[in-house]
Amino acid sequence: MTKYLDEYRDKKVCLELLEKVKEISTKPLRIMEVCGGHTMAIRKNGIQKLVGGNIKLISGPGCPVCVTAIEDIDKIVSLAGFKNVSICTFGDMMYVPGTSSSLSKISAAGGDVRIVYSVLDVLEFARSEKAKHFVFISIGFETTAPTEAAAIIQADRENLDNFSVIALNKTMPQALKAVLQDKNSKIDALICPGHVSAITGTDMYKSIVEDLGVSCCVSGFEPVDLLGSIYKLTELKEENKTALINAYKRAVCPEGNKKAQEIIYEVFEEGDTNWRGIGVIQKSGLKIKEKYKKFDAERRFDIKPEKSIETTECICGDILRGAKTPRDCALFKRVCTPTNPKGACMVSSEGTCSAWYKYGE
């Protein structure tokens, strides 16, 4: 048995929780699962079908690949064209379409694109292949940002000259507020991202509960976690209460991982950033500080990307805000498919459209 995983996949516990949810649920309840990982876990297990007609589960903007602006993809494509530059990326980014190209197309054309499990692998390439410059695509939210920050600190310590990062990281709090304040979203409660919260802690959700009147439940990713969180949110709704609940205490505490937070803000500072389909959200991005500018690929290289053009019929933005579903999109399944994606929500391994296509509605 895999400890801290298998017991949260216990079929008997899941079915009992499900029964209890259906027993107490009488009021309509729109729950947004913020995190793409939660979307995938919910749909993979069919939870959205099982919870019954009153509860609607809506996918949110917590998919770092989905929300990477097309301009940023075009910058990466442009970077790949520099001589002796190797682009290193998590697998998630390989097929994301830019205006006219993608990393997979660059690789097919002979570009040096390498898939890595960790930014640590990129440091290893940089140490052993001095003739090349390794640019790492730094995506992710607060879970991944400290890993990328730690790698920059390490590179600085070692004086690694042939390593830099294109910083595309984003942070959750402002984006959540933007989504919840969108009149079209109509969200009653949030399932909050478990691993972001492991880093940030739970305090950042207090203002959402207190000022916006939206209940928040921090959840793990296994079926017991998700069903337990849905049960708690349903209970609150039925009692006309709002609250902040931490249902992932095995990984999340109120103050989070302070050391990881310090490392993030040693290297990065907050900035305004463009979320694909949503627009610019203030103080929602992480940019590399002046102190570490030599590791900032945008400052190391004179990047001149092509003019970015988004597919106008793509409604990923509305989907990411929870205002629409893939069913509302004229392109979904007809034109936009995993083999011919028009937007990031279809390409990303945890994008809403990808989940709907792969697992059904």
Partner 1 sequence: MNSTDKITIAHGSGGKITNALIRDVFFKHLNNSILLEADDSAIIDVETKRLAFTTDSFVVKPIFFPGGDIGKIAACGTINDLAVSGASPKYITCGFIIEEGFSLTRLEKIVISLAGVVKKSGVKVVSGDIKVVGKGQTDGIFINTSGIGTMPQGKNFGVDKIKPGDKVIISGTVGDHEIAILSKRKGLEFESEIESDCAPLNKMLEEVVKSSSGVRFMRDPTRGGLATTLNEIVQNKNFGILIEEEKIPISKQVKGACELLGLDPLYLANEGKAIIIVSPEDEQKVLSVLKKNEYGKNAASIGEITTAHPNKVCLKTLLGITRIVDMLTAEQLPRIC
Partner 2 sequence: MCWSIPGKIISICGNMAKVEISGVHKDVGLDLIDDSAIGEYVLVHAGYVIQKVNEESAKFTIDFFKKRGTKEL
Where do contacts with partner 2 occur on this chain (CB under 8 A)? 2-5, 7-8, 13, 16-17, 20, 35-37, 62-64, 90, 117-121, 140-141, 143-144, 146-147, 150, 153-154, 193-196, 198-199, 224, 227-228, 231-232, 245-253, 257, 259-260, 263, 350
Tokens 């197309």 found at: 105
Is residue 172 within a helix (H) or strand (E), and if so which, with residue range? helix 172-180
CA dist 136 and 86 (Å) reads: 9
77 or 116: CB nearest partner 2: 116
Beta carbon nearer to partner 1, 279 or 360: 360
Question: Which does residue 260 touch among partner 1, partner 2, none (CB within 5 to 8 A, set by kind)?
Answer: partner 2
We find the least distance from the C-beta atom of residue 152 to partner 2, in angstroms, to be 11
Amino acid at position 312, single letter:
T
Separation between Cα atoms, residue 268 and residue 310, nearest integer Å = 28
Distance CA 274, CA 344 (A): 14
Q: Cβ of residue 137: shortest distance to partner 1, in angstroms?
A: 11
| DSSP per-residue string spanning 267-284 | HEEEEEEEETTTEEEEEE
Find the shortest distance in angstroms from Cβ 291 to partner 1.
26
261/199 Cα distance (integer angstroms): 7
Q: State which residue, 240 or 339, has the beta carbon closest to partner 1.
A: 339
Tokens describing residue 120: 């640590």
Q: Which does 95 bind (CB under 5 to 8 A by kind): partner 2, partner 1, none?
A: partner 1
Compute the distance between CA of residue 227 and CA of residue 20 in angstroms, rounded to an integer. Answer: 10
Minimum CB distance to partner 1, residue 6 (Å): 10
Question: Least distance to partner 1 from the beta carbon of 212, Å?
Answer: 26
Residue ranges binding partner 1 (CB under 8 A): 2, 5, 9, 11, 14-15, 18, 36-37, 43-47, 49-50, 63-65, 88, 90-92, 94-95, 104, 114-117, 121, 125, 139-140, 144, 223, 337-339, 348-350, 357-360
Could you give the 3-state DSSP secondary structure of residue 303? coil
Give strand pairing partners of 88. 114, 136
